[in-house]
Amino acid sequence: MRQPRPFTLIAELSYQCPLHCPYCSNPLDIGAEKYRRELETEHWIRTFREARALGVLQLALSGGEPMLRRDLVELCEGSRDAGLYSSLITAGTLFTRERAEALKLAGLDHVQISIQSPNAEENDRIAGNRSFEKKIAAARFAKELDFPLTINCVLHRQNLDRIAELLDLALDLGAQRLELANTQYYGWAVPNQEALMPSWEQLRRAEEAVQHFRERVGPKVDVLWVLPDFYEELPKPCMGGWARTAMVVAPNGDVLPCQAASTIPGLEFANVREHPLEWIWSESDAFARFRGTDWMQEPCRTCPLGRQEMDFGGCRCQALRLTGDAAATDPVCRFSPHHDRVVSIRESAQTDEFVYRTIKRPVRI
Amino acid sequence: MTRPHLVTGARLQYDEVREEHVLLVPEGAVRLNPTAAAVLELCDGERSLDEIVDTLSARYEGSDLREDVEGLVDGLTQKGLVVDAAA
């Protein structure tokens, strides 16, 4: 099989973050010793160059909060020199006018600012810190400096009913894109599942609001809306398929096929301090393990819909979490013998209490 | 559409690895054939659609490229990637 070429590199520059969002995609053990030793500037810049040579075009400068890195300007210059298109994935609270100008000069291409809710009080409750006003100011700085602006909001039971307000806020802020990201249940969303899982009725109303907005506003604001996994009958190609389009570099230099891959026991992650990115992509254990279709079990192996190359068996981390086997069919699939577990989670008991993200103590579940 | 230009943040680039032109946009890319790349290079917000057609038709020895140019610009306008500088 011809090796696929990666398109996106997600650079998790640091797991430090001023926010405490209960659905954070970072691992639950962000406080662990192994993440303390963050990569140096030159490691990242070399990684960017190697990524471009492999075929990567899009670089996400992510975290944690990437703006906590003091060398962010140098990293943006490194990205530009490598020929990558760079996106800053930020909570916005540190995106001052002065720093925004420096990043613009350094060649940063695009700014994505997260908002937890269009309502200030609710935003601050979900983020676990007072941040709404700073986010709005950040969005305005981004526009003043002519950055293309994406507003990202992770959606769940606590904020889905405000979707019309959120759409209007994005329009008011001049966002070119609004990413409505329904919560995916890995990382910190797992212990918060009961507080986050929406009802079908909420999703239906939200989808309707998105439809109305698109008709009213047209292509000026590109609204990305995808129905959450748990309400589907067929799985999505998680990460575009394992080791097919994207790679994630953790703050310590470990390279993963997805943000949650460290939850899969027995996978070995190679580190950019020790190996060239090209070798990691094409040869390393973690990338080779579930690439393509040879690893598949039933019912994927003889998929009655012939979807092996469409959904690549869905999400490995979800399969592991719900069936105990990372090589099983994603139970979102209606052909999975474990599909009833997805159905029962939709209907599970609900709470409004969050387990907030923290780097201070490792959380075990 | 009178004077098309690329939306804020869109960048034309030649991808040496895949040996093709791409239009890079926030968190995405559109693969371009050489003609499409030539059209988009002229979408600078100054030239009119007619001028773009004339320039390219002259470059490609008089063949009428109006349909190709209009089709491409319309398609990318629908996606919000090309906007009208005159609007």
Q: DSSP assignment of A201-262, as one string?
A: HHHHHHHHHHHHHHHHHGGGSEEEE---GGG-SS---GGGSTTTSEEEE-TTSBEESSTTGG
Does residue A364 surpass a pLDDT of 60? no
Q: How far is A140 from chain B (nearest CA, A)?
A: 15
Q: In the predicted model, what is the mean pLDDT of chain A? A: 94
The strands making up A85-90's β-sheet, listed across from edge to edge, are A222-225, A177-182, A149-155, A110-114, A85-90, A58-62, A8-12, A246-249, A255-256
Q: Which residue has the higher pLDDT, A362 or A344?
A: A344
pLDDT mean over A64-72? 97
Nearest CB to B11; choose among A8, A109, A150: A109
- Tell if the CB–CB gap between B29 and A7 is shorter than 8 Å: yes
By the 10 Å C-beta count (0-12 exposed, 13-18 middle, 19+ buried), A258 is classed as buried
Does residue A222 surpass a pLDDT of 90? yes
Q: What is the dihedral of CA A276, A280, A284, A289, to 10 degrees?
A: 180
Task: Give the confidence band of A350 by pLDDT, cuts at 50, 70, 90.
Answer: confident
The amino acid occupying position A213 is: F
For residues A43-75, one letter each, b for 16 or more C-beta atoms within 10 angstroms of the residue's C-beta and e for the rest, the string is: ebbbbbbbbbebbbbbbbbbbbbbbbbeebbeb
Task: Give the confidence band of A204 by pLDDT, cuts at 50, 70, 90.
Answer: very high
Least reliable range by pLDDT among A161-165, B1-5, B23-27:
B1-5
Q: For position A362, what pLDDT does the model report? A: 54
By the 10 Å C-beta count (0-12 exposed, 13-18 middle, 19+ buried), A361 is classed as exposed
Q: What is the ipTM of this complex?
A: 0.92
CA-based nearest residue to A142, from A181, A179, A92, A106: A92
- Token pair in block for residue A59: 């670089």
Task: Give the confidence band of A358 by pLDDT, cuts at 50, 70, 90.
Answer: confident
A-to-B residue pairs, Cβ atoms closer than 8 angstroms: 64
The amino acid occupying position A147 is: F
Chain A residue with the nearest C-alpha to that of B21: A57
- Tell if the CB–CB gap between A176 and B26 is shorter than 8 Å: yes
Q: Given CB atoms, is A83 within the 8 Å cutoff of chain B?
A: yes
Q: How far is A311 from chain B (nearest CA, A)?
A: 20
- Token pair in block for residue B66: 């109006």
pLDDT mean over A183-195? 92
Task: Give the separation between CA B34 and CA A105, rounded to whole angstroms.
Answer: 30
